[in-house]
Amino acid sequence: DAKTTQPNSMESNEEEPVHLPCNHSTISGTDYIHWYRQLPSQGPEYVIHGLTSNVNNRMASLAIAEDRKSSTLILHRATLRDAAVYYCILMNSGGYQKVTFGTGTKLQVIP
Protein backbone atom coordinates (compact mmCIF):
# COMPACT_ATOMS: atom_id res chain seq x y z
CA ASP A 1 0.00 0.00 0.00
CA ALA A 2 1.13 3.50 -0.73
CA LYS A 3 1.31 5.22 2.64
CA THR A 4 0.15 8.60 3.82
CA THR A 5 1.49 10.81 6.60
CA GLN A 6 -0.63 13.23 8.56
CA PRO A 7 -0.12 15.30 11.72
CA ASN A 8 -1.60 13.56 14.74
CA SER A 9 -3.68 16.54 15.82
CA MET A 10 -4.65 20.07 14.90
CA GLU A 11 -6.71 22.81 16.48
CA SER A 12 -8.90 25.42 14.91
CA ASN A 13 -11.10 28.17 16.17
CA GLU A 14 -14.74 27.93 15.28
CA GLU A 15 -15.70 29.78 12.08
CA GLU A 16 -12.06 29.84 10.96
CA PRO A 17 -10.68 27.94 7.93
CA VAL A 18 -8.73 24.75 8.56
CA HIS A 19 -6.05 23.26 6.35
CA LEU A 20 -5.34 19.60 7.00
CA PRO A 21 -2.18 18.38 5.25
CA CYS A 22 -1.34 14.92 3.96
CA ASN A 23 1.89 13.65 2.47
CA HIS A 24 1.84 10.75 0.04
CA SER A 25 5.21 10.77 -1.65
CA THR A 26 4.90 7.19 -2.98
CA ILE A 27 1.57 7.76 -4.72
CA SER A 28 1.18 5.95 -8.02
CA GLY A 29 -0.34 7.34 -11.18
CA THR A 30 -3.62 5.46 -10.71
CA ASP A 31 -4.13 6.36 -7.04
CA TYR A 32 -6.98 8.63 -6.12
CA ILE A 33 -6.63 10.72 -2.98
CA HIS A 34 -9.59 10.18 -0.67
CA TRP A 35 -10.47 11.88 2.56
CA TYR A 36 -12.76 10.40 5.16
CA ARG A 37 -13.62 11.61 8.59
CA GLN A 38 -14.72 9.73 11.67
CA LEU A 39 -16.90 11.32 14.28
CA PRO A 40 -16.76 9.82 17.78
CA SER A 41 -18.31 6.35 17.99
CA GLN A 42 -19.22 6.30 14.30
CA GLY A 43 -17.87 4.72 11.16
CA PRO A 44 -15.84 6.85 8.75
CA GLU A 45 -17.76 8.99 6.29
CA TYR A 46 -16.67 10.17 2.87
CA VAL A 47 -15.57 13.77 2.60
CA ILE A 48 -13.98 14.30 -0.79
CA HIS A 49 -11.64 12.74 -3.31
CA GLY A 50 -9.54 13.79 -6.28
CA LEU A 51 -6.94 12.64 -8.76
CA THR A 52 -5.00 15.62 -10.07
CA SER A 53 -7.15 18.73 -10.06
CA ASN A 54 -8.42 20.60 -7.04
CA VAL A 55 -11.93 19.64 -6.03
CA ASN A 56 -14.75 21.37 -4.22
CA ASN A 57 -17.94 20.01 -2.72
CA ARG A 58 -20.41 21.16 -0.11
CA MET A 59 -18.31 19.74 2.72
CA ALA A 60 -14.79 20.79 1.81
CA SER A 61 -12.16 21.55 -0.79
CA LEU A 62 -9.21 19.41 -1.76
CA ALA A 63 -6.02 20.99 -2.98
CA ILE A 64 -3.61 18.60 -4.69
CA ALA A 65 0.02 19.49 -5.26
CA GLU A 66 1.21 19.53 -8.84
CA ASP A 67 3.49 16.53 -8.25
CA ARG A 68 0.65 14.80 -6.34
CA LYS A 69 2.96 13.99 -3.47
CA SER A 70 0.88 15.95 -1.03
CA SER A 71 -2.63 17.27 -0.63
CA THR A 72 -4.56 19.52 1.71
CA LEU A 73 -8.13 19.21 2.88
CA ILE A 74 -9.67 22.61 3.44
CA LEU A 75 -12.64 23.21 5.68
CA HIS A 76 -13.65 26.77 4.89
CA ARG A 77 -15.38 27.53 8.19
CA ALA A 78 -14.86 25.03 10.95
CA THR A 79 -17.84 24.26 13.14
CA LEU A 80 -18.02 22.24 16.32
CA ARG A 81 -19.56 19.43 14.30
CA ASP A 82 -16.37 19.20 12.26
CA ALA A 83 -14.44 17.93 15.27
CA ALA A 84 -13.38 14.46 14.13
CA VAL A 85 -10.46 12.35 13.02
CA TYR A 86 -9.66 13.01 9.37
CA TYR A 87 -8.05 10.27 7.31
CA CYS A 88 -6.23 10.73 4.03
CA ILE A 89 -6.23 7.49 2.03
CA LEU A 90 -5.01 6.44 -1.39
CA MET A 91 -7.23 4.21 -3.51
CA ASN A 92 -6.58 3.01 -7.01
CA SER A 93 -9.23 3.10 -9.65
CA GLY A 94 -9.90 -0.64 -9.29
CA GLY A 95 -12.14 -0.06 -6.30
CA TYR A 96 -11.83 -3.42 -4.60
CA GLN A 97 -8.47 -3.28 -2.95
CA LYS A 98 -8.20 -3.26 0.81
CA VAL A 99 -7.55 0.08 2.40
CA THR A 100 -5.05 0.73 5.15
CA PHE A 101 -5.80 3.54 7.53
CA GLY A 102 -3.02 5.65 8.94
CA THR A 103 -3.31 7.44 12.25
CA GLY A 104 -5.27 10.36 10.80
CA THR A 105 -5.47 13.89 12.16
CA LYS A 106 -7.66 14.58 15.15
CA LEU A 107 -9.19 17.99 14.64
CA GLN A 108 -10.25 19.93 17.69
CA VAL A 109 -12.51 22.92 17.11
CA ILE A 110 -12.41 25.57 19.80
CA PRO A 111 -15.58 27.59 20.38
Q: What is the spatial distance between Cα 78 and Cα 71, in angstroms, rounded to a whole number?
A: 19
Q: What is the β-pairing status of strands 105-110 and 45-50?
A: unpaired
Write the binding mask 12 to 41 for another protein: x where contact by CB under 8 A, - elsewhere.
Answer: --------------------x-x-x-x--x
Q: Which stretch binds another protein (CB under 8 A): 9-17, 21-29, 68-76, 99-107?
A: 99-107
Helix, strand, coil abundance in the chain, percent, nearest 5:
5, 50, 50
Q: Does 91 bind another protein (CB under 8 A)?
A: yes
Q: Rounded to the nearest whole angstrom, what is the least distance from the CB of residue 86 to another protein in the complex?
A: 12
Residues touching another protein, count (CB under 8 A)? 23
Report how far apart, in Å, the C-alpha atoms of 44 and of each of 28, 34, 36, 48, 95 are: 24, 12, 6, 12, 17
Q: Which stretch binds another protein (CB under 8 A): 21-29, 60-68, 72-80, 85-93?
A: 85-93
Q: Does 108 bind another protein (CB under 8 A)?
A: no
